[in-house]
Amino acid sequence: MDGDTLEPKKIVSTRGMTVDTQEYHPEPRVAAIVASHEHPEFIINVKETGKVLMANYQDLDDLKITEIGAARFLHDGGWDASKRYFLTAANQSNKIAVVDSKEDKLEALVDVGKIPHPGRGANFIDPKFGPVWATSDLGDEGIAVIGTDPEKHKANAWKLVRTLKGQGGGSLFIKTHPKSTNLYVDTALNPDAKMSQTVAVFDINNLDKGFEVLDIAEWAGLGEGPKRVVQPEFNEAGDEVWFSVWNGSKQKSAIVVLDDKTRKLKAVIKD
């Protein structure tokens, strides 16, 4: 589309054959779209076909699209720390697809837990395995940690190096920050209110210790309601982490702000 007017400049169909059974799919959905840091390209997840399209927009009249077979059903994902490799969840296949955006090819398919749902995922330095990227799961309590450094930690690259045990299933987002030693994992869709209203936080320097539970919904002081805690996000400085507390449509919701270093309540912003 034109960036100023949003007028469509080129329309391309995503219909095609599925990557596994080679069946025609008439109406596959597009999930994540991200911009490459290597080329003038958009990286496009086509959900039902399980294919990643690398659409080079340099010449729209002679459009070049590289089709990469990954796995069904592609959803969301994020970059490794180098911003060369895009790690994306094929959630119903229980896999993470690793796409090399420099070479426009599939680097690896990594088997993980049940229904991975990373959001953008989380990059950090594992004290044992080096640079890693992590995703939590919708379908179980697992948190998959995948090595991401093929240069200095080749033996661990694109392998599941460890699986952490979180509170439970129903996780939607996992988050950390380069200046933080905390790894936050929500469980917003867990049917148990004790989990959906709290978050687990791991010490990155001592992952084997397990997690601390933070009672975010209680700190929000909203009273009755489902109060699902979702999507931790850091401020730019990396010293605060913000949580959304989603309540019922006729009830008050809130944003809860924590001091990342102390894990203590800093502010509550109610709607």
pLDDT in tens, 127-164: 999 999 999 999 999 999 999 999 999 999 999 999 99
Average pLDDT over residues 105-112: 99
78: alpha, beta or left? (left if phi > 0; alpha if psi -120 to 50): beta
1-111 and 114-271 share one CATH topology? yes
What are the sequence ranges of the domains in the chain? Answer: 1-111, 114-271
Average pLDDT over residues 55-77: 97
Query: Is the model's pLDDT at 271 over the cut of 90?
Result: no
pTM of the model: 0.95
Residues 7-33: pLDDT tens digits? 999 999 999 999 999 999 999 999 999
pLDDT at residue 185, as a whole number = 99
DSSP 37: S
220 touches 268 (CB < 8 A): yes
Average pLDDT over residues 238-259: 98
Question: At the top level of CATH, which class does the domain 1-111 belong to?
Answer: mainly beta
2 falls in which pLDDT band (50, 70, 90)?
Answer: very high
Domain 114-271 has CATH 2.130.10.10: yes
Query: Is the model's pLDDT at 120 over the cut of 90?
Result: yes
